[in-house]
A and B are shown apart, each in its own frame.
Chain A
């Protein structure tokens, strides 16, 4: 019996559909556990991705890790789960380890594919520089799936939704407020990212990078020194010690491609590098490379994107 936890407070995210699809690939009987206020109609559509039943506890309305752990543990015990699946996101990173201790179930975090024939599960290690095969020694397994590792697949029809309540106990964490950034695309979820580094010489030169991001509908990012000297906000810093991202397209302008930078972006599907130095290490990790001065290349690229966008309409 497979259990999948999804967060449905803001509707059904792509990563939620990925985890349900993943559950379906592991076994026929998939129970989805969720909390929050998504409508029963919406939740029943999870059946299309492989759920046979959805259990929702609306009394757990936040993301308190203790409440969620109690809720999921109680469902796991009732249905006799042998596998529990999470998305390896903020909630998964808080709840899956707790559940591992509570159920004495080995946790594989950041799985990138379904289990191999020998039962091991592949994960990224050394910040994406290698992959490891993990074996779970306990009878019950917990797997958290790295977002964007598999695609959601429709395989069935709507399923039943069962309401339950009070399984989470009391919340210890109180949410005071949530500040939403206006208009910006949040970096961790962005499919397209435009990034720049020290090669841009100063914060006053970021206008052309922001313009490119706007034209493409991309998020902006930067290298660590650029955030450290205050040219760009800290939340844009990607790399080993910043945010790790896996967008479909990563455009890096004036970034040398130090190993610590690559560690945060090497999961990108396509990488474009613009650098004056043909020897810049980033070219080794790139799919498309342009040796040239950012101050000439970027404005030219922006014009080309404008032309392309205009032709599409």
Chain B
């Protein structure tokens, strides 16, 4: 009980610190590396919550594929740091006030509007493993699964078209 709580609070601290690091780091590379660490802590949360398959998918898809794509684009563009520009002066305080309001609203909905439900003490065998996920995915959610494949195909074609358009314009 207590070791689990210590693990939770230390991981939560790491997640929040890396989130704030993403917010305040000037260099985009450092922000991307903070986000990788954040994704790893969230993967460990998934493991604590009994989602083994989702945790591995989180590490390979988010921390592996998506963040590598981010780092490649940052390095190709060479846009780690931005120069000075005339920002709107009141933007930052207004953003902070609006975020605090959002947090208060979330807390209100959580603590006063929902009845607390005790978590299930025991989970069935193999809960959250590839077999159980695949069973639900291919029986109950077959149509969304197929639509997802079309979405990925469209995204792939879209990325190719968007990055190749400039070349064809130059040739004409």
Same complex origin of A and B:
no
Q: Using a CB–CB distance below 8 Å, which chain B residues touch chain A?
A: none
Q: Using a CB–CB distance below 8 Å, which chain A residues touch chain B?
A: none
